[in-house]
Amino acid sequence: MKKIWLVRHGQSQVQNGETDDTLNPHLSDLGCRQATRLIEPLQALEFDLILLSPLQRAWKTYQLSEAKARRVEFDSRLIESDWGIEGFYAPVLPVTIPDFAEPDRHDAWLTSHDERAEELVADLVARPENNILMFAHWGIFNRIFWAFIGMDTINKLARITTDNTGISLLEVDEKGYRFIRYWNERSHVTHIEQVTFCKK
């Protein structure tokens, strides 16, 4: 059984009003604390591959989660939705990413979120790794959900909510049947107090 885990980043500084940088904001202090609460649910799992959005709120969440895998890669297909705005991420390019993971090979910054989701799901299902973890964003996870169940992602009125550091699990069995095992599990972050924690 192939398992594909999705983890949304912790709260960002744009979410709590600290900045108006909507393209590539830092995690907020609460977001950092949320990310550390991922340590317990993820530490017992052995991942073959971790894929990271190159946007810093996603890879910082990965770092604070202490998740481990045989291989870790940046993948620009996982950047947040472009909200239908052509060239949305052009103002932040090129984005500097740290060297703790393999560099992005896809150069999908200016590719629409629908195209990215469709390609990514097909790639994930075909890859040989059986336990894959992704750190990314609500918008692209929403598109991945629709692509995974085989529905057209364009002009969807329905939205699949993923809260900060919510964990979702998709599965594909040996016959190719696809399952949504659970979505947006977040018991690890209930009742978190806002405390200053994160170093930028």
Structural domains in the chain, CATH included, are 2-189 (3.40.50.1240)
Return the pLDDT at 177: 96
- List the chain residues with pLDDT less than 50: 194-197, 200
Q: How many CB atoms lie within 10 A of CB 190?
A: 7
Return the pLDDT at 86: 83
CB burial class (10 A; 0-12, 13-18, 19+) of residue 103? exposed
Confidence (pTM): 0.92
Return the pLDDT at 198: 52
| 78 contacts: CB under 8 Å, gap ≥ 6 | 51, 52, 53, 54, 58, 116, 120, 134, 135, 136, 137, 140
